[in-house]
Amino acid sequence: MSEATVADTRRLNSKPQDLTDAYGPPSNFLEIDVFDPQTIGVGRNRFTTYEVRMKTNLPIFKLKESCVRRRYSDFEWLKNELERDSKIVVPPLPGKALKRQLPFRGDEGIFEESFIEERRSGLEQFINRIAGHPLAQNERCLHMFLQDESIDRNYIPGKVRQ
Amino acid sequence: MSFFSFGQTAEIDIVLNDAETRKKVEHKTEDGKKDKYFLFYDGETVSGKVNVTLKNPGKRLEHQGIKIEFIGQIELYFDRGNHHEFVSLVKDLARPGEMAQSQTFDFEFTHVEKPYESYTGQNVKLRYFLRAIISRRLNDVCKELDIVVHTLSTYPELNSSIKMEVGIEDCLHIEFEYNKSKYHLKDVIVGKIYFLLVRIKIKHMEIDIIKRETTGTGPNVYHENDTIAKYEIMDGAPVRGESIPIRLFLAGYEMTPTMRDINKKFSVRYYLNLVLIDEEERRYFKQQEITLWRKGDIVRKSMSHQAAIASQRFEGSASSEKALSQAKEEDD
C-alpha cells in the first residue's frame, strides 16, 4: 500500500531577475559621515562644528551629494523639530555634557579631544538612524539640516514631496 | 473525607469498554504539563463501567442515588464560577438506597455529539469528561475522567492562495504569496516574497506564526497573542527583482485547528506575520490570517475500503471482490 502523498514543497514560480537589477547599484544607497571637528572662536565664545557629508541615490533628496557644517545645537534643533512634527521615535543624542562646561576643570572640558571624538561618533549614529527612517525622510527640517548651507530657524515646517 | 471512622466510604473508578484499543493523545493541562487522555471523535459512543468499591468491608453505604454524567464545558479563567455546559447527558445507575457490597454499573452514552475540539489555553479551557456521582446527605463522592476530543476536517474545496502587494510609498514595495489560505496541522507553507522596490537597508526577514486567543464579548473582549514560531527566511539585503522562497513545515509546532467563536465564548485564530528588519532595527510587518484544520489519519484505512469498492464498480471481477473482503477485514 503506498504511503499518503508527500506534501508538494516545490517553489512557487517567480519572474527571473533582470541582470541590471541584480548587478546594478542598490537603490538604497545612503551614507552620511560626521567628521572633521573644528573649534571656532576664542575664550568663552568657542564652539565646535562638524562636517556633515552626505552621499545618496534616494530620489527624495534633491542633491545626491552635499556637504555642510553643523554644531551640536543644530543637532538639538533637528531632534526637537522631529519630535514635534514627525511620528517617529527620535533616537537619543550624545549627552549635553553640562558638567564639562563648568569652570575649574583639570582638562579642556568640552574641547577635550576624546570627548569631541565620542560626541562626533554619537552624532554620526544619530543622523544615520534618522535619515534612513522612511517617516523622517519627507520632513522639511531634515532636508534643510542635511542639504542647505545654513539652517533657517524661522522656516515653515512641513513635508517634502517627491 | 470522613472524620468518623464508623461511616462507610466508597471509591469510584470509571473504566471505558474500549480502553485497550482506543488511542490516547497528549494534551496540555492548565499548568503546562502534558498528560495522555483517551481520544474521541464527534458521534462516537462513550461506554464503560463504573466500579464502586466500598472501603470498609461489612458496612453498608447509604446513598441518595448514583449517576454518571457526560459533560462538555467551557471554562473562562476570569469567570471560574460559571461553567458553560454545551453538552450535558446523564444516566442514572442506581436509585437511592443502600449498597451492601462493592458493585459495578454499566453505562453507555450512544453516539454523543462532541461539536468542538478540546482546548486548554491561556484564558479559557474547553473540556469533555465523564463524572460519576454517589449522592449522599452530607457530601457526595465524585470521580471524573477527562477525555480529549479532536474535530476532523477534509481537504477544503476552495483553498485559494494568498497574494498581495504591500509597501510604503516610494520606500519599499513587496509582493508576497502563500500557496494556500487553509493549511492542515502537518502541512507545509510554500510561498515567496518578491521585491519590487527596495529603498531601505534591509538586514533580514522572518516569518512568524502568531496564535491569538480571544475571550469575552462586547466591551470585555480580551486578545492574548502568542508567537508560536519565528522562522528566518532571508539574511542579507535584497535588491529589486529578487524572489525569496518560503517553506515552513507546520508539523514541528504545537498548534490547534482554527476555532471561530466557539459557543459564542472564545476564538483561537492563527496569523502569519511577515517581518522585515532594517539595519537600524526598524521593523516592517504584514499580518495575514490563515485557517488551520485537522486532518484525520484514519483516512488511509477507509480509503482502501473505498478504493476496493471503486475498483469493483469498474471491473466487477473476482479479484476485486477478494480485495473488498480483505479491506473489510482490515477495517474490522
CATH number at residue B243: 2.60.40.640
Residue B308 has pLDDT above 70, yes or no: no
Q: Per the domain annotation, does B306 fall within a domain?
A: no
**Which set of grid coordinates corresponds to residue B315?**
471491473
- B45 with B109: CB under 8 angstroms? yes
Do the Cβ atoms of B201 and A30 come within 8 Å?
A: yes
Q: Per the domain annotation, does B4 fall within a domain?
A: no
- Quick one: pLDDT at residue A98? 80
Which residues are CB-neighbours of B287 under 8 A, at least 6 positions away? B210, B271, B272, B273, B274
What is the C-alpha to C-alpha distance for residues A82 and A86, in angstroms, rounded to an integer? 5
* Cβ count near B139 (within 10 Å): 11
Q: Per the domain annotation, does B2 fall within a domain?
A: no
Which range is least confidently modeled, A92-96, A100-104, B250-254, B290-294? A100-104
- Same domain, yes or no, for B167 and B145? no
3-state secondary structure of B10: strand
Amino acid at B84: H
Amino acid at B99: M
Last residue of one domain, picked from the residues B149, B175, B199? B149
Q: Per the domain annotation, does B230 fall within a domain?
A: yes
Express each pLDDT in B265-296 by its tens digit. 999 999 999 999 999 899 999 999 999 999 98
Do the Cβ atoms of B194 and A133 come within 8 Å?
A: no
Enclosing domain of residue B68: 10-149
Interface test with A, best of B200, B244, B284, B302 (most A CBs within 10 A): B200
What is the interface pTM, i.e. ipTM, of the complex? 0.84
Query: Which chain A residue shows the shortest CA-CA distance from B172?
Result: A134
Which range is least confidently modeled, A9-18, A92-101, A139-148, B295-304? B295-304
Do the Cβ atoms of B170 and A59 come within 8 Å?
A: yes
- Quick one: pLDDT at residue A4? 55
- Same domain, yes or no, for B193 and B289? yes
- Same domain, yes or no, for B26 and B111? yes
Please, which pLDDT band fits residue B328 given cuts at 50, 70 and 90?
Answer: low
- Same domain, yes or no, for B227 and B190? yes
What is the C-alpha to C-alpha distance for residues B208 and B188, in angstroms, rounded to an integer? 14
Q: Per the domain annotation, does B185 fall within a domain?
A: yes
Residue A8 has pLDDT above 70, yes or no: yes
Closest CA to B271 of B247, B249, B292, B244: B292
> What are the structural domains of chain A?
20-147 (3.30.1520.10)
Do the Cβ atoms of B242 and A22 come within 8 Å?
A: yes
According to DSSP, residue A122 is labeled H
| Total tally of structural domains belonging to chain B | 2
Residue B327 has pLDDT above 80, yes or no: no
Q: Per the domain annotation, does B324 fall within a domain?
A: no
More confident residue, B296 or B323: B296
What is the C-alpha to C-alpha distance for residues B305 and B274, in angstroms, rounded to an integer? 43
Strand pairing report for B124-134 and B141-149:
antiparallel
List residues in chain B touching A: CB distance below 8 A. 168, 170-172, 177, 179, 187-188, 190-192, 194, 197-201, 237, 239-243, 245, 247, 278-280, 282, 299-300, 304
**Cβ-count burial B102-125 (b if 16+ within 10 Å, e if not):** ebebebebeebebebbbbbbebbb
Residue B313 has pLDDT above 60, yes or no: no
- Same domain, yes or no, for B25 and B77? yes
Q: Per the domain annotation, does B70 fall within a domain?
A: yes
- B134 with B13: CB under 8 angstroms? no
How far does B276 lie from chain A, in Å, by closest CA? 14
Residue B1 has pLDDT above 80, yes or no: no
Q: Which residues of A touch B155 (CB under 8 A)?
A: none
- Same domain, yes or no, for B115 and B69? yes
Angle at the Cα of A135 from the Cα atoms of A134 and A139, rounded to 5 degrees: 110
- Same domain, yes or no, for B262 and B236? yes
Report, in this order, helix, strand and coil percent for chain A, each rounded to 5.
Answer: 35, 20, 50
Express each pLDDT in B50-95 by its tens digit. 999 998 878 888 999 999 999 999 999 988 888 999 999 999 999 9
Express each pLDDT in A37-89 by its tens digit. 998 888 878 889 999 999 999 999 999 999 999 999 999 999 999 999 988 99
Please, which pLDDT band fits residue A104 given cuts at 50, 70 and 90?
Answer: confident
Do the Cβ atoms of B170 and A60 come within 8 Å?
A: yes
List residues in chain A touching B: CB distance below 8 A. 1, 4, 7-12, 14-15, 17-18, 21-22, 24, 26-28, 30, 58-60, 128-129, 132-134, 137, 162
Cα–Cα separations (whole angstroms), residue A151 to A70, A94, B48, B98, B216: 9, 21, 86, 98, 55
Closest CA to B274 of B186, B160, B184, B178: B178
Do the Cβ atoms of A14 and B192 come within 8 Å?
A: yes
User: Can you spell out the DSSP letters for B99-119?
Assistant: E-S-EEEEEEETT----S--E
What is the C-alpha to C-alpha distance for residues A130 and B178, in angstroms, rounded to an integer? 34
Do the Cβ atoms of B201 and A132 come within 8 Å?
A: yes
Q: Which residue from B201, B243, B300 is facing A28, i.e. has the nearest CB?
A: B201
Sign of CA dihedral B19, B22, B27, B33: positive
Q: Which residue from A22, A28, A59 is facing B241, i.e. has the nearest CB?
A: A22
**Which set of grid coordinates corresponds to residue B178?**
502563500
Q: Which residues of A touch B168 (CB under 8 A)?
A: 134
User: Can you spell out the DSSP letters for B285-332?
Assistant: EEEEEEEEEPBPTTHHHHHHHHHHHHHHHHH--HHHHHHHHHHHHHH-
- Same domain, yes or no, for B136 and B50? yes
- Quick one: pLDDT at residue B330? 53
Last residue of one domain, picked from the residues B149, B170, B192? B149
- Mean predicted confidence (pLDDT) in B130-139: 93
**Cβ-count burial B245-275 (b if 16+ within 10 Å, e if not):** ebebebeeeebbbbbeebeebbbbbbbbbbb
> Could you tell me how far CA B295 lies from the centroid of its own chain?
11
Q: Per the domain annotation, does B308 fall within a domain?
A: no
**Which set of grid coordinates corresponds to residue B126?**
474547553
How buried is residue A132: exposed, middle or buried, by Cβ count under 10 Å (0-12/13-18/19+)? buried
What is the C-alpha to C-alpha distance for residues B329 and B306, in angstroms, rounded to an integer? 13
Q: Which residue from A10, A12, A132 is facing B177, i.e. has the nearest CB?
A: A12
Q: Which residue from A1, A11, A17 is facing B192, i.e. has the nearest CB?
A: A11
Q: Which residues of A touch B198 (CB under 8 A)?
A: 26-28
Do the Cβ atoms of A134 and B172 come within 8 Å?
A: yes
